[in-house]
């Protein structure tokens, strides 16, 4: 089962060495995916996890450690608690891209955000990414059904939004946001998953604007045997451009992927035996100790998830373009 994406692309350069992102829509997902969680004999599979980072570049890139690159990464895993982290960067000169990312995850709920903006002329780029999720091991028991197969319908509700803008697309100034939702359930007899991708891209005005939505996953299992569940949000925002330094005016671009409204567990929505009969009297235990039978409320967002005063100023002053949904 997939635990999480490892390293994501921090920076890609074109043939000119100017440090711009590739032409066209940037790729988001890392090539390396961790396909399992290491297990210690006798221990269940349970963890919350969070990883990501932010990057800004001011001027041409001359090497991986160039003084005009500012980047930060974060990575946190907790086997039995809550993972929280955030980072924020600006360009080394102080007047280039603003980028920040962060999130929090507990068993049964996830938050994440990625934001980047720029407001200047010249060569510049910025980006941020965050992945947050949880994994757990569930065991169902019911009178007279030990060792027999059944099916469980599990639910998650997503509440988030994505957007992107640029005031000077003709100057090759772009903004984008992308997101991936992954919901997996695996047992000894079945393996089911939902993999949803969504994006917003300022150059062509296309994209999905994901808001509140319910996800359900029905998976077969054996009563008394483990059923492994993994859920993650993986999001990224990017801004980039290479308008000439002597071009009049200050150009603005932004990419926002904001899932701070959370993804939350909505419960075990249905449980049936191998003949399709509803099973009303059942118990479920988890490696984390979480009760998954009903909805799980996420705690109120903490300070680590604030996007900062820079966003409020930026959103108050940026030029909005008409959008069709």
Strand pairing class (69-78; 47-58) = antiparallel
Task: Please determine, for residue 218, whether its predicted confidence score (pLDDT) is greater than 70.
Answer: yes
Q: What is the pTM of this model?
A: 0.79
Structure tokens at 275: 């003949």
Work out the burial of residue 270: count CB atoms within 10 Å of its CB; fewer than 13 is exposed, 13-18 middle, 19 or more buried.
middle
Give the pLDDT band (50/70/90) at residue 59: confident
pLDDT digits (tens, 9 = 90+) for 133-148: 999 999 999 999 999 9
pLDDT digits (tens, 9 = 90+) for 276-312: 999 999 999 999 999 999 999 888 765 433 444 344 3
Task: Please determine, for residue 224, whether its predicted confidence score (pLDDT) is greater than 50.
Answer: yes
Q: DSSP readout, 49-117?
A: EEEEEEEEEES---STT-TTEEEEEEEEEESSS-EEEEEEEE-TTSSS-EEEEEEEEETTEEEEEEEEE
Residue 111's Cβ-side half-sphere holds a number of Cα atoms within 13 Å equal to 24
Of 107 and 58, which is predicted with more confidence?
107
pLDDT digits (tens, 9 = 90+) for 72-90: 999 999 987 899 999 999 8
Of 167 and 105, which is predicted with more confidence?
105
CA–CA dist 323, 168 (Å, integer): 16
Contacts of 60 (CB under 8 A, 6+ apart): 17, 18, 19, 68, 123
C-alpha 309: how far from chain center:
22
Residue 314 belongs to what H/E stretch? helix 309-317
Q: Using an 8 Å Cβ cutoff, are 105 and 253 in contact?
A: no
> In the chain, pLDDT over 90 holds for what percent of residues?
46
* Nearest Cα residue to 136 out of 162, 105, 177, 115: 105
* Nearest Cα residue to 60 out of 92, 100, 102: 92
DSSP state of 223: T
CA-based radius of gyration for the chain = 22
């Amino acid at each position: 089962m997939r635990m999480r994406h490892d390293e994501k692309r921090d920076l890609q350069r074109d043939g000119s060495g100017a440090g711009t992102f590739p032409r066209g829509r940037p790729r988001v997902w890392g090539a390396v995916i961790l396909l399992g969680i290491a297990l210690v004999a006798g221990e269940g599979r349970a963890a919350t996890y969070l990883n990501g980072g932010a990057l800004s570049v001011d001027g041409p890139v001359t090497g991986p450690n160039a003084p005009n690159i500012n980047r930060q990464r974060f990575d946190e895993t907790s086997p039995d608690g809550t993972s929280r982290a955030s980072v924020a960067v600006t360009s080394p000169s102080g007047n280039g891209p603003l980028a920040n990312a962060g999130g929090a995850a507990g068993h049964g709920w996830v938050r994440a955000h990625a934001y980047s903006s720029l407001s200047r002329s010249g060569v510049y780029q910025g980006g941020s990414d965050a992945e947050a999720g949880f994994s757990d091991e569930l065991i169902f028991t019911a009178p007279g059904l030990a060792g027999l197969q059944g099916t469980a319908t599990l639910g998650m509700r997503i509440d988030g939004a994505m957007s992107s803008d640029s005031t000077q697309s003709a100057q090759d100034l772009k903004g984008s946001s992308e997101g991936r939702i992954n919901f997996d359930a695996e047992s000894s007899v079945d393996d089911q998953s939902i993999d949803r991708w969504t994006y917003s891209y300022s150059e062509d005005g296309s994209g999905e604007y994901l808001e509140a939505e319910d996800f359900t996953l029905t998976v077969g299992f054996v009563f008394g045997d483990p059923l492994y569940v993994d859920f993650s949000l993986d999001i990224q925002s990017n801004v980039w451009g290479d308008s000439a330094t002597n071009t009049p005016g200050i150009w603005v671009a932004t990419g926002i992927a904001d899932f701070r409204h959370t993804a939350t567990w909505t419960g075990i929505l249905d449980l049936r035996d191998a003949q399709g009969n509803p099973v009303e009297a059942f118990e479920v235990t988890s490696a984390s100790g979480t009760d998954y039978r009903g909805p799980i409320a996420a705690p109120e967002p903490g300070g680590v998830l604030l996007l900062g005063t820079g966003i409020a100023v930026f959103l108050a002053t940026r030029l909005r373009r008409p959008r069709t949904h």
